[in-house]
Amino acid sequence: MVDWDDLRHFVALADSGSLSAAARRLGVEHATVARRVAALEASVGAKLVDRRGGRYELTRDGESVAQHARRMETETFAIERSIRARQDEAATEVSVSAPPVFATEIIAPRLPRLKDAYPMIRLRLLGQSHAVSLPRREADLALRLVRPSDTTLVARKIGTIVYRLYGSAEYLAARHPAEHEFIAFDDSLDDVSQQAWLKMIAAPRPIVFRTNDLAIQCSAAEAGFGIAALPDFLAKRCGLVDADPENRSHTRDAWLTYHEDLRDNAAVAVVARFIAECVQEAGSIKQAP
């Protein structure tokens, strides 16, 4: 009899291509993934993966097993969502994935309100820059700045995040706008829309510091290191000043999304309303109509 847990670990490896990525997806050690895959190979009596460099590639047998296992995984998650959809809010955990700075600055400070109103709901808040898989139940709800394309997901626009150019008052007082230097995301986030907007305005002035984290950008601007494109709510918390003489801004829509199977789940509905309220109350964020 093939062990489902072995199959689950094998699918994660097949999808990600490396032990470390599969381990992160499952929340286990990479040695656990290797052990489970080896156990599956012993169970079916066939070699399922070949290691080539730092990646794992599926053999022909591995491809066949992966196809069957993915279908089993899809049905397993569907069963879990079906059961979850019938649960009420009593003693229920709801997991929410949000960009780290939004989790820290917008949602976390308002958690007591949710606990006071719904003490039986346990919220698990995940600060994550990457988009989690809601069909795989990596989270129940996700706050995203890009509308999901998956047609199995419910997507609701809950507001619009306003970005401007910000710097410290001391930095701006000491420099003419032509002398401004800029803080930006690193190259891995060049496709983010506010990055392209910042680079367009900055040119030909230099970008002197790059990071993959918005909170670090804010701290660097607060320290007087340069000008950053930041959401209004974060810049104001850091005491930064609008650095653009033309007062230009850039906007990104905020989307709350969850799997359609959870549409009628009472606890998910409560948390969805709570997250929407958090976003709409956070500083100068335009509310969705």
Residue 141 and residue 278 in contact, taking contact as beta carbons nearer than 8 Å:
no
Residue 60 and residue 66 in contact, taking contact as beta carbons nearer than 8 Å:
no
Tens-digit pLDDT profile for residues 251-269: 999 999 998 888 888 889 9
Residue 216: predicted pLDDT:
96
Residue 88: predicted pLDDT:
56
257, β-bridge pairs: 142, 155
Residue with tokens 């958690």: 111
- Picking from 85, 115, 133, the residue at the C-terminal end of a domain is 85
Tens-digit pLDDT profile for residues 28-46: 887 888 888 888 888 888 8
CA distance 88 to 265: 6
Residue 203: predicted pLDDT:
93
Tens-digit pLDDT profile for residues 159-180: 999 999 999 999 999 999 999 9
Residue 269 and residue 114 in contact, taking contact as beta carbons nearer than 8 Å:
no
Average confidence (pLDDT) over 12-20 = 82
Residue 82: predicted pLDDT:
63
Q: Do 116 and 252 sit in the same domain of this protein?
A: yes
- Picking from 85, 114, 138, the residue at the C-terminal end of a domain is 85
- Picking from 41, 61, 85, the residue at the C-terminal end of a domain is 85
Tens-digit pLDDT profile for residues 109-153: 999 999 999 998 999 999 988 888 888 788 999 999 999 888 889
Provide the mean pLDDT of the chain. Answer: 87
Q: Which two tokens stand for residue 145?
A: 């700045």
Q: Do 34 and 100 sit in the same domain of this protein?
A: no
CATH number at residue 19: 1.10.10.10
Q: Do 194 and 131 sit in the same domain of this protein?
A: yes
Q: Do 196 and 98 sit in the same domain of this protein?
A: yes
CA distance 107 to 130: 18
Count: domains in the chain: 2
Average confidence (pLDDT) over 204-213 = 95
Residue 178: predicted pLDDT:
94
Q: Do 196 and 120 sit in the same domain of this protein?
A: yes
Average confidence (pLDDT) over 216-223 = 96
CA dihedral 235, 218, 173, 199 (to 10 degrees): -100
**Predicted confidence (pLDDT) at residue 288 exceeds the cutoff of 50:** no
Tens-digit pLDDT profile for residues 75-111: 676 666 566 555 554 558 899 999 999 999 999 999 9
**Predicted confidence (pLDDT) at residue 204 exceeds the cutoff of 90:** yes
Average confidence (pLDDT) over 61-81 = 74
Nearest to 84 by CA among 239, 263, 277, 288: 263
Bigger pLDDT: 58 vs 184: 184
Q: DSSP of 185-247, one letter per residue? A: E-GGGTTSHHHHHHHHHHTTSPEEEEES-HHHHHHHHHTTS-EEEEEHHHHHHTT-EE--TT-
Q: Do 276 and 142 sit in the same domain of this protein?
A: yes
Q: Do 202 and 182 sit in the same domain of this protein?
A: yes
Domain of residue 8 covers 4-85
Q: Do 278 and 181 sit in the same domain of this protein?
A: yes
